[in-house]
A = this chain, B = another copy of it.
Amino acid sequence: MATIEDVAKAAGVSASTVSYVLSGKRSISAPTRRRVEQAIATLGYRPHAGARALASARTEVIGLTIPLRSGIDVPVIMQFAGGVVTRAREHSHDVLLLTQDDLEGLERATNGSMVDALVVMDVEADDARIPILTRSRQPSVLVGLPRDASGLSCVDLDFEAAGRLAAQHLSELGHRQVAMLGAPPEVVDRHTSYVDRVMRGFAEGAPDHGLDAKVVSCPGAPAEVARVVDELLAEAPGTSGLFVHNERALPHVLSSLREAGRSVPGDVSVIALCPEDVALAQQVPMTAIDLPASTIGSLAVDMVMARLDGGQHAETRLLTPVLTTRGSTARH
């Protein structure tokens, strides 16, 4: 591989001059710059990332932790990761992939100076990673809301408001008896922050709007979804409004309802909380609160970058949920 010395020789300048051409940190005369750029192009030179990191204490890489475990809504994660990677590139950074529960990996990435900053997904209320992040030199932004976020940036959809919004909307449509189908039990038990928050928002918002509400968790497998729906309809036959926060279960909820002889939206209004494309991919285009995963990913990167080069302070940003009416809800 060509080194900066090779380029310097080819351009008839010193290595430092090449470096300054690359970084723009000192002024370089137009002819010199041209010669250097020419040499770089013909040699196909790329700076050695390690050498650069060593000398400058900057890696131009950000770490991203993603969950690989069960019960997760995969498309949401992919959209989120896509948003992160895309925006990171726009800030000329690459992305190092870490997995959720690899604490050692986090240490390696931070203390080993593999990354300049971190984006951490799917944060739990008392997340084991938080102490590591707090201690680390690199800024980080959490996606989700831990119990104690002191000194850390957070970003997320305002899931509690989303829960309330769903309740309010069902109320405005004239429903009185409603229910929420949430994440699978195993996810609920982990107390991943957003899961808790939606449920709380819905459960607390419903009575405020005069609703009689049930909240149940819901597995993803078709047979189990059917069972949950059947049980629900048996216990509360008057249920006419449903709020579903579970991508995998969503299609099966719709077919279970149909199978139970309840039409959507004729007999039952259904509101989903999911990405737009998922809402549109159902048998009935869903009235839904958008889960703007890609946007959140981009935003997370913007925030972490601002802290990197702006010295910006830690902040928490919650996006206001937006509900779009489509074909799965009707006045009651």
Contact = CB atoms under 8 A, between A and B. Distances in A.
A49 B114 contact: yes
Contacts of A1: 111, 113, 137
A97 interface: yes
A111 B46 contact: yes
A68 B84 CA distance: 11
A182 interface: no
A7 to B, nearest CB: 13
Contacts of A86: 68, 99
A89 interface: yes
17 contacts: A1-B137, A44-B107, A48-B112, A48-B113, A49-B108, A50-B51, A68-B85, A68-B86, A74-B74, A74-B75, A75-B75, A85-B97, A94-B97, A96-B96, A222-B282, A222-B283, A255-B283
Closest 9 CB pairs of A and B: A50-B53, A46-B111, A46-B112, A50-B50, A50-B54, A68-B82, A95-B97, A49-B114, A49-B112
A139 interface: no
A96 B280 CA distance: 33
Interface in A52-93: 52-54, 59, 61, 64, 68, 74-75, 77-78, 81-82, 85-86, 89
Contact of A44 (B78, B111, B221): B111
A252 interface: yes
A186 to B, nearest CB: 15
Contact of A50 (B59, B68, B280): B59
Contacts of A50: 49-54, 59, 113
A47 interface: yes
Interface residues of A, number: 52
Given A94-B96, A111-B1, A222 B74 contact: no
- Identical subunits present: 2
A25 B48 CA distance: 25
Contacts of A59: 49-50
Contacts of A54: 48, 50-51, 54
B281 A248 contact: yes
A105 interface: yes
A96 B61 contact: yes
A265 interface: no
A241 interface: no
A133 interface: no
A78 B74 CA distance: 7
Contacts of A315: none
Contacts of A96: 61, 94-97
Interface in A237-261: 248, 251-252, 255
A144 interface: no
In this complex, the member of A59, A109, A221, A251 whose beta carbon has the largest number of chain B beta carbons within 10 angstroms is A251
A205 interface: no
